[in-house]
């Protein structure tokens, strides 16, 4: 199991609400618990439903898709250590312990696709 990011909202997210909200945002439900997004004709896992929505990104593309998904649901994307991922002026940022770090431009990351991070 990798590093987990959670989609967090003020009010709990019901599965029915999730299922209804993902299609207009460009996501699909695969099986009963996996959220996928398309790139270059393929479908790639972004998150899974475990009574709440979680993801274990293995690429900047998956991170960007998780952020898009959380935004579409009116939620925040939060890491295991309390860091918060956000989109500001088209740039993905992560805030941890009061420090903000830019990850990259959302559209460039989405266009690049789901190439895995190097170990």
Q: What is the pLDDT of residues 3-47, one digit of tens each?
A: 899 999 888 888 888 888 888 888 999 988 999 998 888 899 999
The number of distinct structural domains making up the chain is 1
Cross-sheet strand order for the sheet of 84-88 = 27-30, 34-39, 42-49, 53-55, 5-8, 76-79, 84-88, 91-96, 99-105
Q: Is 117 contained in some domain?
A: no
What range does the domain containing 47 cover?
Answer: 5-112
pLDDT in tens, 48-94: 998 889 999 989 999 999 999 999 999 999 999 999 999 999 999 99
Is residue 2 scored above 70 in pLDDT? no
Residue-level pLDDT at 19: 85
Query: Is 82 a domain residue?
Result: yes
Domain assignment present for residue 119? The answer is no
CA distance 113 to 47: 16
Is 70 inside a domain boundary? yes
1 confidence band (pLDDT: 50, 70, 90)? very low
Determine if the pTM surpasses 0.85. yes
Report yes or no on 118 lying in a domain: no
């Amino acid at each position: 199991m990798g590093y987990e990011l959670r989609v967090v909202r003020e009010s709990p997210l019901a599965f029915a609400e999730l299922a209804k909200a993902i299609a207009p945002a460009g996501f699909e439900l695969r099986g009963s618990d996996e959220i996928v997004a398309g790139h270059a004709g393929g479908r790639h896992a972004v998150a899974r439903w475990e009574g709440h929505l979680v993801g274990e990104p293995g690429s900047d593309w998956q991170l960007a898709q998780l952020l898009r998904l959380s935004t579409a649901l009116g939620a925040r994307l939060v890491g295991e250590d309390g860091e918060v991922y956000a989109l500001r002026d088209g740039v993905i940022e992560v805030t941890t312990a009061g420090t903000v770090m830019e990850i990259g431009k959302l559209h460039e990351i989405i266009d690049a696709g789901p190439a895995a991070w190097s170990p």
